């Protein structure tokens, strides 16, 4: 989708510090980090929110979680702990309408959803 910021990152139209890339998935740092480690894991294909991913393509969500736990291990936060968050649609707090998984770590997350 032309106007989507994460599609532009996926298309390399906007430079980003890519931490992971496969045929289907990308990971890069969040531009406004809410924790010492704040990464985003996205499908390359544009789906506005989780509910838009067709059932037969949900394997991409599995890959996103696989990447998240790999990056958590790579960043050395696996044992201390980390938080994975996916906001879905406006009342879920979603502001960028291209599916993404937040990986937050490096400080106690506390009881709130994103800290």
Which range in 47-55, 59-67, 73-81, 87-95 contacts ligand AMP by CB under 6 A? 87-95
- Residue by residue, DSSP assigns 21-67 as E-SSEEEEE-SS-SSSEEEEEEESS--SSGGGS-GGGTHHHHHHHHH
Q: Per CB under 5 A, does 98 bind Zn ion?
A: yes
Residue 46 known to be catalytic:
no
Q: How far apart are CA 16 and CA 31, in angstroms?
A: 9
Minimum CB separation of residue 60 from ligand AMP in Å reads 17
| CA-to-CA separations, 36 to 2, 14, 33, 105, in angstroms, rounded | 31, 23, 7, 6
Q: Per CB under 6 A, does 21 bind ligand AMP?
A: no
Of 36, 59, 81, 93, which lies in the binding site for ligand AMP, with binding defined by CB under 6 A?
Answer: 93
Q: Which is nearer to Zn ion, 47 or 82 (CB)?
A: 47
Minimum CB separation of residue 46 from Zn ion in Å reads 3
Pull the structure tokens for residue 19.
Answer: 């931490």
Residues recognised as catalytic: 100
């Amino acid at each position: 989708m032309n106007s989507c910021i994460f599609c532009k990152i996926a298309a390399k139209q906007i430079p980003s510090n890519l931490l992971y890339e496969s045929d289907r998935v990308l990971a890069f740092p969040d531009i406004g980090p809410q924790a010492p480690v704040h990464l985003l894991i996205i499908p390359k294909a544009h789906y506005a929110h989780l509910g838009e991913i067709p059932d037969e393509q949900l394997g991409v969500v599995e890959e996103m979680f696989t990447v998240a736990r790999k990056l958590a291990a790579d960043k050395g936060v696996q044992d201390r702990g980390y938080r994975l968050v996916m906001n879905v649609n406006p009342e879920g707090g979603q502001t960028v309408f291209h599916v993404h998984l937040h990986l937050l770590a490096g400080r106690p997350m506390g009881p709130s959803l994103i800290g």
